[in-house]
Amino acid sequence: MWLAGVVGLALLALGAVYLSVECQSLPGFMGPVHGDTAPRTGLGIVCVALGLVVLIGGFVATRRRSGA
C-alpha cells in the first residue's frame, strides 16, 4: 500500500502549500489569483484532511493485510 502513502504525503504537502503561500505567489497550475495576498485556507484544509484519511486508510489496509 505504498501508493496510499505517496498520495497521502502529496496531499499533505499540497495542503501545507495552500495554507502557507499567498494566492498571487502560487505556481500557475495551482491557480494563482493576481492581487490576492491571502492563502487558500479552504483548499488547504481539504487537502490536509484528505491526506490524513488516505494515510490512515493505507495504514489500516496494510495492518489488515499483514494480519490475514
What are the pLDDT digits (tens) for 35-49? Answer: 888 888 999 999 999
Distance CA 5, CA 3 (A): 5
Each residue's pLDDT tens digit, 3-61: 999 999 999 999 999 999 988 888 888 877 888 888 889 999 999 999 999 999 999 99
15, β-bridge pairs: none
Predicted confidence at residue 36, as pLDDT, reads: 83
C-alpha cell at 67: 494480519
Contact 11, 50 (CB under 8 A): yes
Predicted confidence at residue 56, as pLDDT, reads: 95
- Distances, alpha carbon 66 to alpha carbons 3, 27, 54, 57, 60, in Å: 16, 41, 18, 14, 10
Predicted confidence at residue 68, as pLDDT, reads: 58
Work out the number of other CB atoms within 10 angstroms of the CB of residue 51.
20
Predicted confidence at residue 38, as pLDDT, reads: 85
